[in-house]
Amino acid sequence: MDNPVLDRRSGPLEQAAHDIVRAGQRMDARAWVPATAGNISCRLPDGRIAITRSGCHKGFLREQDVITVDGAGRPHDPGHRPSAETLLHCQVYRRMPDVGAVLHGHSVASTVLSMIEKTNALTLRDYEVQKVFDGQTTHDAAITVPLFANDQDIARLAGEVEPYFGAMPAGYIIRGHGVYVWGRDMDQALARLEGLEFLLACLLQRRTLEGRTLGA
């Protein structure tokens, strides 16, 4: 049997690698994945997960920088090293069977807001762009984006996130770290990431302006 990692004749893997490279370039162009931050993945039809290898700059990805792991985050090729955060991608796929792509970025807005917010979630309301998320049909609503404490023990962090599945239409944020967003395919995941990052940038700007007004 051909090696599932090395056989690039596989249409789904080749397409996934192409989509991941394209997503990395788009995220890099918007300064959401500085240095080697972030990771990007797709679910393959056979259940494997195609994901960026550890330590790659997402703006300069090549298709060979995309590896495959199983549902527990173990690489099919022992010589490949996925990010430790791969477990968080695997968790999304396990909990949400309709999800086909997961994106993780480190924007300035998500990092700063998550560090200064005192509650356990950011609340987004009255923005037209909210309609990019499931279940949102009007601007006249509020969406909460849960915040979780950063933790180098990814299994423990996943345990903190686990109870919130089913109640995170806009994804979630790890404090001082970045966002996790997903969709049925890469195009939808990118649209939701762009929507969330726009809303976070608006929220950060509003708080900055309100702070200046109060300090005047």
Q: Mind listing the pLDDT tens digit for each residue in 11-28?
A: 999 999 999 999 999 999
Q: Is the pLDDT of residue 87 over 90?
A: yes
- Residues annotated in the binding site, as ranges? 104, 106
Residues 79 and 99: their CA atoms lie apart, in Å, by 28
Q: Measured between alpha carbons, how far is 72 from 69 in angstroms, rounded to an integer?
A: 8
State the alpha helices, DSSP H only, in the chain. Answer: 11-29, 86-95, 108-116, 154-161, 186-215
Predicted local distance difference test score (pLDDT) of residue 141 = 78
Please answer whether residues 132 and 191 qualify as being in contact, where contact means their C-beta atoms are separated by less than 8 angstroms.
Answer: yes
Alpha helices in 30-116 (DSSP H): 86-95, 108-116
5 pLDDT exceeds 50? Answer: no
Indicate the domain borders of the chain.
11-211
Is residue 40 within 8 A of residue 92, CB to CB? The reply is no
What's the confidence (pLDDT) of residue 8?
A: 47
Residue 3 has pLDDT above 50, yes or no: no
pLDDT of residue 1: 32
Binding residues for Zn(2+): 104, 106
* Paired residues of 174 in beta bridges: 148, 178
pLDDT > 90: percent of the chain = 79
**Homologous superfamily of 11-211 in CATH?**
Class II aldolase/adducin N-terminal domain (3.40.225.10)
Mean pLDDT lowest among 7-16, 36-45, 113-122, 156-165: 7-16
Chain mean pLDDT for the chain: 90
Residue 6 or 75, more confident: 75
